[in-house]
Amino acid sequence: QLQLQESGPGLVKPSETLSLTCTVSGGSISSSSYYWGWIRQPPGKGLEWIGSIYYSGSTYYNPSLKSRVTISVDTSKNQFSLKLSSVTAADTAVYYCARQGRYCSGGSCYSLAFDPWGQGTLVTVSS
Amino acid sequence: QSALTQPPSASGSPGQSVTISCTGTSSDVGGYNYVSWYQQHPGKAPKLMIYEVSKRPSGVPDRFSGSKSGNTASLTVSGLQAEDEADYYCSSYAGSKVVFGGGTKLTVL
């Protein structure tokens, strides 16, 4: 079955760029039926959607993070990646990647539920 | 502050039913039938329990059901079991973005 695995540094210094990669196995990232998303969860807090990408490279981001976020895709490696710049302690969180359903009708496309999720990776921002 | 409003906590005894609400606006919950619910046990990744308001993925017990009225979606867990104790999050498509609720901690008494 489809599995996702996050990877990247667990510690990032303030003002630097957080970089994570999600490797997809058991299925192709190049499917017209899905987006691929990043979600984070600060310790003891709720979930926050960061952004999502389609295999063609089109992206959409959380407006509150848009100025600092870049999500990219590498279909040859079946991976997608997250970069978050100018990080602060407030960016300390467990970062999840997930497959997200995609439905298109009447010229519009809609993003659906996240399933499955990766196990998550804790990124701490500290000097 | 989360875009969708959920009660911080809910509880029920084994065998009882409990309903968790998720209130948004006409720009998210009320505007689309793309509400989903996730269950999260401590230290684990969220698990999809309900999608498109009321659909259950394969493998999710039929004790879990979803509904929507206006700008408020609801998750009902019937016949509560000890393993249902977890955090539950709602989420909605909101026109080129996704929003989550703040989460509800469900306690099985």
In the block, tokens 């804790």 appear at A122
Among A47, A62, A115, beta carbon nearest to B48:
A115
* CB-CB neighbours of A30 under 10 Å: 14
Q: How far is CA B56 from CA A28, B49, B51, B52, B67, in A?
A: 24, 6, 6, 9, 12
A59 within 8 A of A82, measured Cβ to Cβ: no
Q: Percent of chain B scored above 90 by pLDDT?
A: 96
For B62-91, what is each residue's pLDDT tens digit? 999 999 999 999 999 999 999 999 999 999
Contact assessment for residue A62 and residue A48, using Cβ atoms and an 8 Å cutoff: yes
All residues of chain A having their beta carbon less than 8 Å from the beta carbon of residue B2 are 46
Residues A112, B97: C-beta atoms closer than 8 Å: no
Partners of residue A60 in chain B, C-beta under 8 Å:
96-97
The predicted pLDDT at position B102 comes to 97
User: Of the candidates B104, B65, B59, which has an alpha carbon nearest to the alpha carbon of residue B85?
Assistant: B104
Owner of token pair 């409990």: B18
Give me B61's structure tokens. 């017990």
Listed as ranges, residues in chain B with pLDDT below 70 are 1
pLDDT at residue A18 is higher than 90: yes
Compute the distance between CA of residue A41 and CA of residue A43 in angstroms, rounded to an integer: 6
Which chain A residues touch B100 with a CB distance below 8 Å? Answer: 39, 46-49
For range A82-93, the mean pLDDT:
98
Nearest-neighbour CA in chain B from A77: distance (Å): 24
